[in-house]
Structure 1
Amino acid sequence: MKRMGVLTSGGDSPGMNAAIRAVVRKAIYHNIEVYGIYNGYQGLINGNIEKMEIGSVGDIIQRGGTILRSARCPEFVTKEGQQKGVEQLKKFGIEGLVVIGGDGSYRGANALTNLGIPCIGVPGTIDNDICGTDFTIGFDTALNTVIDAIDKIRDTASSHERTFVIEVMGRNAGDIALWSGLAGGAETILIPEAEESMDEIIARLKHGQRRGKKHSIIIVAEGVMSGVEFAEKLKKEIQMDVRVSVLGHIQRGGSPTVRDRVIASRMGARAVELLIEGKGGRAVGIVNNEIIDRPIAEILDQPHTIDMQMFELSKELSI
């Protein structure tokens, strides 16, 4: 392989730049030219492609977001859009592609592989909803952002004896809510993967009141419902001073943590190695701190799961 490309697609996540840096420098180390594709699959279709050098990725490992930028591209879902992407890659002589993103990005990578351009997926999303890896790039940084907010909100909740409903991201996955809720000592955590009745939530809150607890933190994953919607339901069931905080896109930003920088570097480097080995249609991941790779098609066929033991533990510790 003489030339390969790299792009970021879907929602941005802290650590994407570290992965880009690893791809570019690992490839150049092996005397392979690297081309950055800007604005995701939309940029690929439009031919927004530039050659990258060692200096192109200097001083980016600590930066959040993605220097290659990202964009949604409905056109790339179509066969016509995918064929346009293939034509652009061939025009630039790019023989393989590293795609950093979530499951939608993986679908595009799998389609390109089937059209003759070997692609390797690197899991970049704060949602941690990609199968075949214990952690995705950006998840750890997002958790640290959320826990910092929870700690600050708890200060004011305690001062004013209020119940705070905090809505966190995660799309249809509850990983951010579960991990941050357990780490932040939340009294209740609502996730898409587990149903919890309002009666059970109310009983837990009333139990806390009886033992003298004056404030509570409730974490709601956006895949369950909005924080505002849940707060309105709660107010109808129990007399409490309830406030809502929607953390929003602050969870996607910020300098990546050490963990995210390291796994991004390891995953990006392994993606290059797989292309050098002549492999395509695979995605890298980290399992038990070992970098692994699996077929993208296999990953896309598996449903996202969550650690239910952690969920049960969170309820046990919130008594």
Structure 2
Amino acid sequence: MKAIGVLTSGGDAPGMNAAIRSVVRSCVYYDIKVYGIYYGYQGLINGNIEELTIGSVGDIIQRGGTVLYSSRSEEFKTPEGQQKAIDQMRAFGIDGLVVIGGDGSFRGATKLSEQGFPCIGVPGTIDNDIPGTDFTIGFDTALNTVIEAVDKIRDTATSHERIYAIEVMGRDAGDLALWAGLAAGAESILVPERDTSIDAVLEKVKRGHERGKRHSIIMVAEGVGSAVDYANYIQEHLELSTRVTVLGHTQRGGSPTANDRVLASRLAAYAVDLLKDGQAGRMVGIENNQLVHDDIMNVLNKKHEIDQDLYALSNRLSI
């Protein structure tokens, strides 16, 4: 392994820059050339490739987003696009590729591995929806962003005696809503992995109101629907003042937390180690604070699940 490429793909996540830095510095440590590929798979096809040095990744560990940028590529989904990508890497003398991203990014890495080009996936997404790892890069930062916002919204909810429905990201996963809801003391948490009826939420709000509670926070994962619909239903049936906050892309930005910086550094360095040792078609992860790796296809064929014990605890504490 004389040269390794690194790219970021899909949605950005805080900590991606820490992962890029770790790939570059690990390669330099092993005297392996390292190339940054800009704009994801589309940049790979177009040859937006540049050799990186230690100086290239100075002062980026604390920055959100990704200095390599990201984009989606329809062309890469075709066999012709994949062959162009491989040809570009061979032209630059790249022997292996580290892909930092989510499941869509890993599907791309799988296509390259199937054609004999070694790839290692590093899970980077705020959704925390990748099986095979307890946490993904960016989740902890997004989680803290949500908690900070909810804490502030609760001040207003208390002052005006209102019900607030707060919609958070997560795509089809409820981790962000569950963890943030538990940490911020939300009265109800709606996640796509559990079938919670709006009438059950309504009953909980009603019970709280009857015992003198004049405000509530309802966490809504985007995978279960619009927070606006839930808020309108509650206001219509209980005649309580209800407001909606959709946190949106504020959850993706910001300086990564210490946890995300350390996680990104560990996972990315491990990815370089695997490539150096001849591994391919693997995804690195962390389980019980230990670094692990698994076949990417095994990961993609598994279904993400929330922590059921955590969900049960949230229900117990929000009576």
Aligned to 2:182: 182
Following superposition, the deviation at residue 314 of structure 1 comes to 0.9
Alignment of 1:76-91 (within 5 A): 76-91=76-91
* 1:229 counterpart residue number: 229
Give the 3-state SS of the residue equivalent to 2:50 in structure 1. Answer: strand
Matches within 5 A, 1:7-156: 7-156=7-156
Letter in 1 for 2:239: Q
Cα offset for 1:237? Answer: 2.1
Tell me by how many angstroms 1:238 deviates.
1.7
Work out the CA distance in 2 between the residues paired with 1:268 and 1:81.
26
Equivalent residue, structure 2, for 1:304 = 304
Partners of 1:230 and 1:203 lie apart in 2 by 13
Aligned match of 1:209 = 209
Alpha-carbon distance in 1 for matches of 2:84, 2:45: 6
Deviations 1:283-311 (A, max 9, x none): 00000000111100100000011111111
Task: Tell me, in whole angstroms, the C-alpha distance in 2 between the residues paired with 1:68 and 1:227.
Answer: 34
Residue in 2 that maps onto 1:283? 283
Distance 1:52 1:225 in 2: 43
Distance 1:162 1:236 in 2: 14
Inter-partner Cα distance in structure 1 for 2:248 and 2:199: 28
Cα distance, 1:129 vs structure 2: 0.3
Q: CA deviation at 1:229?
A: 2.0
Q: 1:198, CA displacement in angstroms?
A: 1.9
Query: Taking structure 1 as the reference length, what is the TM-score of the superposition?
Result: 0.99
Cα deviations by residue, 1:197-218 (Å, 9 ceiling, x for unpaired): 1221111011101110010000
1:83 positional shift:
1.1
TM-score under structure 2 normalisation? Answer: 0.99
Measured after TM superposition, the shift of residue 161 of structure 1 is 0.3
Q: Please give the alpha-carbon distance, in whole angstroms, between the structure 2 residues aligned to 1:170 and 1:76.
A: 25
Letter in 2 for 1:119: C
Q: Which amino acid aligns with 1:54?
A: I
**Structure 2: segments with no counterpart, 5+ residues:** none
Structure 2 counterpart SS, 1:297:
helix
The DSSP-based 3-state class of the residue aligned with 2:100 is strand
Q: For 1:54 and 1:28, locate their aligned partners in 2 and report how far apart those are by CA, in whole Å.
A: 7
Between the two proteins, what is the percent identity of the paired residues?
Answer: 65
TM-superposed deviation, 1:233: 2.3
- Measure the CA separation in 2 of the matches of 1:75 and 1:170: 26
Distance 1:285 1:141 in 2: 17
- 1:147, 1:199 → 2: CA distance? 26
Q: Secondary structure at the match of 1:223?
A: helix
The SS at the match of 1:100 is: strand
Amino acid at match of 2:99: V
Superimposed CA distance per residue, residues 45-64 of structure 1 (whole angstroms, 9 cap, x where no aligned partner): 11100000110000000000
**How many Å apart are 1:226 and its aligned residue?**
1.4
How far did residue 79 of structure 1 move? 1.3
Greater mean alpha carbon deviation, residues 140-149 or residues 191-200: 191-200
Counterpart in the other structure of 2:314: 314
CA offsets, 1:13-33, max 9 Å, x none?
000000000000001110100
Unaligned runs of 5+ in 1: none
Listed one character per residue, the Cα deviations across residues 147-170 of structure 1 (whole Å, up to 9, x for unaligned) are 000000000000000000000000
Contact 2:167 2:220 in 1 (8 A): yes
Contact map agreement 2:198 2:230 (CA 8 A) in 1: no
